């Protein structure tokens, strides 16, 4: 059994809370005392049903205002899979929360109200899905009961969305017509839509494959050096970290970046047990054949397929801070275990998040998304977003406040 | 990757980030299953080396004797350092004031001793076993959760956490609470304990003891619990699903003596784990309020 992490995009009006609530309720994931708490809070939706949003609105301020402000995580599982649902607010003033939530998800469910079709919010959320290179997009055309379960409405929305997807370059899109409120196509196939030949939402989530189609070259950012320094383990020196990419195995030729030193993988260890080949995502210890100077922040890579190591590059950034981006200031770029001093050399353009049009403005404020050029104090090791998204991502930290002020994805070498 | 392997790899990654990013971290050890699981994960993260942090136990003085016995046994086996912060000391020094009456609990006083211990040893990161599925305020918690100089959590000023990149930069005096098993559920923890064959204090398994009925829940009849003629005391077969101190942890009726029985019991349960915690029942926002004060 594996894990699927997904985010639901949309607002209360689109039935987002109803959809999450329905999934949790129908998989028996809501317990009596939690239901009791919901009933006690006595919050109702416009249609009179119990508002399940209280399950995810964990903060007092959220319950008072009846809106989701922050990102929340919900957990449920079936016989086939374990799920982590990220619930993030959908409104434009919470774009940064949405990006945070999406960054921790593999799949995004985009909810479209069948009566409204593709709207500005749909475009915005789809743009963010593309920006963050999410592996799958599932469009749920909701409230099908309100349009008489009409297949033509569904087909029209599907066609409109595919036009949008192709404009954005969004691949891997699937569609399901549902009624979250009535339960149509949520857990079981709906009898009201015999014309729909696909699976129910839960079936889809249980079986969708989100593995990468092509293997990625391995990278190994060193987090910590294990040195017991005891009498019997005097020479033990293990590099601890989490594997990124595929195929890391004993005997591999290794390059250490940024120094460029070379060695070979002598052995791999997983919790004190030897390992021949490591899998993507495993937390392991690597031993090298030679005595090379390696510490936290260094990254071991396959000699045959090295990443880039550059000082100047272009990135898409989402700005998270109340203070606007300042080109005169030094920021810290943290990618994996490395922290590098950087400056924003140039703001190339800003995106209108609703229309995705480029705007030639240089003033970057909270929630803005822009393409920038970065100048770093030393070589930064990365792959490009289009080749290997997981190794193109980083955060910007303001060293005066220590706050995370931006999320960036490296797009090009400058 | 199997889901338990995935959760394990993520937790080990987080523990190593703590080691790499902080000068003086600590692992908060309560003697409960979640912190015992953390210790097991720390072994996987750092062995054959030593832990880059001590274990810290905030002892209310009202713990189950079985928990303390287990703690000392575990520390002995590990060969790692244990620091104990005593709530009794905070009371003696007048920093914490004992509650009065039948429902008195030292649970809220733990925060005082915890913050004192953090200050005394200058810890800049404290690793805890809290999980997001436990409670709705905890569902909002970051993996690296920054506390100000007064130990306070400000839910509205939390740093966004993107991908698996953890920003542990803080100013002097602040500290970070770290939650490596944020994404685990109660069932995940039990399945992992079973898979890894992790030892637990005996009170997690069904046993017979005297229990007293308080606010509809069965509490262990501890010597420091005020029991009078009006109280109903019974001898029952029970176990503890969550282990805090004896004044705030209720027992559940159970005949589960093996891990498999416990896992079946949890799967069939219709109440959540925190349903047996009197400290969460005070109000809708009880946990959020305590966390703002510095509780972990």
pTM: 0.93
Whether B85 maps to a domain, the answer reads yes
Tell me what pLDDT residue A234 has. 87
Which of A302, A323, A354 is at the close of a domain? A302
> Do B42 and B161 have their domain in common?
yes
Q: For residue B227, count other CB atoms closer than 10 A to its CB.
A: 16
Which of A207, A228, A252 is at the close of a domain? A207
User: DSSP string spanning B80-100?
Assistant: --EEEEEHHHHHHTTSS----
Confidence tier at B135 by pLDDT (50, 70, 90): confident
The mean pLDDT of B167-177, rounded to a whole number, is 94
Say if CB B266 and CB B227 are below 8 A apart: no
Tell me what pLDDT residue A11 has. 65
Inform me whether the pLDDT recorded for A27 exceeds 90. Answer: no
> Do A332 and A346 have their domain in common?
yes
CB contact under 8 A, B284 and A236: no
- Please, what is the end-to-end C-alpha distance for chain A in angstroms? 43
Whether B196 maps to a domain, the answer reads no
User: Of A175-179, A271-275, B257-261, which one has max mean pLDDT?
Assistant: A175-179
Whether B267 maps to a domain, the answer reads yes
Best residue in A59, A68, A228 for a mutation probing chain B (most B CBs within 10 Å): A59
Helix residue ranges, H only, chain B: 3-21, 33-46, 65-78, 87-92, 110-121, 186-196, 259-268, 286-293
CB contact under 8 A, A63 and B133: no
CB contact under 8 A, B48 and A402: no
Which of A174, A207, A240 is at the close of a domain? A207
Inform me whether the pLDDT recorded for B23 exceeds 90. Answer: yes
More confident residue, A72 or A64: A72
Query: What residues in A contact B139, CB-CB < 8 Å?
Result: 56, 58, 72-74
Whether A213 maps to a domain, the answer reads no
Cα of A152 to nearest chain B Cα, Å: 39
Whether B193 maps to a domain, the answer reads no
Pick from A33, A72, A280: which is nearest to B275 by CB?
A33
Cα–Cα distances in Å, from A125 out to A21, A43, A155, A392? Answer: 21, 27, 20, 21
pLDDT (tens digit, 9 = 90+) per residue, A276-315? 999 999 999 999 999 999 999 999 999 999 999 999 999 9
> Do A57 and A200 have their domain in common?
yes
Give the number of domains in chain B.
2
Confidence tier at B245 by pLDDT (50, 70, 90): confident
Work out how many CB contacts closer than 8 A connect A with B: 165
Tell me what pLDDT residue A56 has. 58
Domain hosting residue B81, numbered range = 3-188+284-293
Tell me what pLDDT residue A303 has. 94
Query: What residues in B contact A24, CB-CB < 8 Å?
Result: none
Please give the Cα distance from A326 to A322 (Å, whole number): 12
Inform me whether the pLDDT recorded for B117 exceeds 70. Answer: yes
CB contact under 8 A, A59 and B132: no
Q: Which DSSP helix (H) or strand (E) runs through A120?
A: helix A120-131
Domain hosting residue A13, numbered range = 2-207
ipTM higher than the 0.90 cut: yes
Query: What residues in A contact B162, CB-CB < 8 Å?
Result: 99-100, 103-104, 393, 395, 404, 407
CB contact under 8 A, A72 and B139: yes
CB contact under 8 A, A70 and B19: no
> Do A198 and A55 have their domain in common?
yes
CB contact under 8 A, B136 and A57: yes
Give the number of domains in chain A.
3
Whether B103 maps to a domain, the answer reads yes
pLDDT (tens digit, 9 = 90+) per residue, B44-89? 999 999 999 999 999 988 888 999 999 999 999 999 999 999 988 8
> Do B18 and B64 have their domain in common?
yes
């Amino acid at each position: 059994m594996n894990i699927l992490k997904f985010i639901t995009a949309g607002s209360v009006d689109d039935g987002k809370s109803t959809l999450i609530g329905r999934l949790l309720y129908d998989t028996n994931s809501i317990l009596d005392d939690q239901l009791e708490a919901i009933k006690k809070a006595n919050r109702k939706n416009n249609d009179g049903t119990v508002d399940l949003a209280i399950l995810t609105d964990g903060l007092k301020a959220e319950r008072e205002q009846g809106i989701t402000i922050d990102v929340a995580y919900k957990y449920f599982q079936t016989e086939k899979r374990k799920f982590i649902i990220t619930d993030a607010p959908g409104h434009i003033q919470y774009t940064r929360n949405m990006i945070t939530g999406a960054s921790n998800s593999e799949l995004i469910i985009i909810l479209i109200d069948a009566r409204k079709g593709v709207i500005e919010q749909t475009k915005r959320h789809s743009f963010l899905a593309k920006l963050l290179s999410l592996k799958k997009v599932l469009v749920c055309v909701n409230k099908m009961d309100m349009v008489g379960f009409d297949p033509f409405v569904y087909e029209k929305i599907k066609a409109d969305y595919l036009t949008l997807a192709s404009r954005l370059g969004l691949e891997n899109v699937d569609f399901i017509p549902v009624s979250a409120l009535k339960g149509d196509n949520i857990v079981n196939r709906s009898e009201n839509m015999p014309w729909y030949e696909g699976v129910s939402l839960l079936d889809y989530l249980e079986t969708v494959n989100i593995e990468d189609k092509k293997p990625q070259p391995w990278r190994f950012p060193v987090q910590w050096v294990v040195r017991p320094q005891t009498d019997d383990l005097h020479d033990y020196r293990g590099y601890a970290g989490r594997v990124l990419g595929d195929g890391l195995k004993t005997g591999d030729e290794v390059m250490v970046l940024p120094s460029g030193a070379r060695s070979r993988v002598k052995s791999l260890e997983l919790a004190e047990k030897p390992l021949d080949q490591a899998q993507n995502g495993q937390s392991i210890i690597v031993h090298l054949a030679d005595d090379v100077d390696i510490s936290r922040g260094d990254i071991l890579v396959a000699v045959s397929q090295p990443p880039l190591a550059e000082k100047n590059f272009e990135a898409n950034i989402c700005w998270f801070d109340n203070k606007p981006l300042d080109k005169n200031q030094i920021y810290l770029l943290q990618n994996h275990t490395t922290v590098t001093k950087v400056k924003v050399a140039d703001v190339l353009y800003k995106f209108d998040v609703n229309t995705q049009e480029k705007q030639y403005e240089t003033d970057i404020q909270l929630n803005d998304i822009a393409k920038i050029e970065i100048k770093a104090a030393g070589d930064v090791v990365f792959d490009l977003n289009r080749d290997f998204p997981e190794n193109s991502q980083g955060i910007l930290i303001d060293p005066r406040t220590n706050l995370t002020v931006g999320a960036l994805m490296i797009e090009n070498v400058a | 990757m199997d889901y338990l392997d995935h959760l394990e790899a993520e937790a080990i990654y987080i523990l190593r980030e703590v080691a790499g990013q902080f000068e003086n971290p600590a692992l908060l050890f309560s003697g409960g299953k979640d912190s015992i699981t953390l210790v097991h994960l720390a072994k996987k993260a750092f062995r054959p080396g030593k832990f880059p942090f001590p274990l810290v136990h905030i002892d209310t003085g009202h713990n189950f004797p079985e928990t303390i016995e287990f703690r000392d046994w575990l520390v002995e086996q590990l060969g790692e350092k244990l620091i104990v912060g005593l709530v009794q000391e905070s009371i003696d020094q007048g920093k914490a004031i004992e509650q009065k009456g039948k429902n008195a609990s030292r649970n809220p006083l733990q925060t005082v001793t915890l913050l004192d211990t953090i200050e005394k040893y200058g810890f800049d990161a404290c690793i805890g076993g809290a999980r997001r599925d436990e409670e709705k305020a905890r569902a909002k918690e970051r993996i690296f959760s920054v506390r100000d100089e007064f130990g306070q959590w400000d839910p509205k000023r939390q740093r966004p956490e993107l991908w698996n990149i953890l920003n542990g930069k803080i100013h002097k005096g602040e500290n970070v609470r770290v939650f490596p098993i944020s994404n685990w559920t109660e069932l995940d923890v039990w399945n992992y304990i079973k898979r890894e064959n992790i030892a637990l204090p005996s009170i997690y398994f069904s046993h017979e003891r005297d229990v007293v009925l308080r606010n509809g829940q069965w509490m262990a009849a501890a010597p420091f619990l005020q029991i009078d003629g009006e109280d109903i005391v019974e001898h029952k077969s029970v176990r503890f699903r969550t282990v805090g101190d004896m004044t705030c942890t209720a027992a559940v009726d159970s005949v589960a003596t093996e891990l498999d029985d416990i896992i079946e019991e949890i799967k069939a349960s219709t109440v959540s784990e925190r349903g047996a915690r009197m400290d969460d029942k005070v109000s809708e926002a009880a946990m959020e309020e305590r966390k703002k004060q510095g509780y972990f």
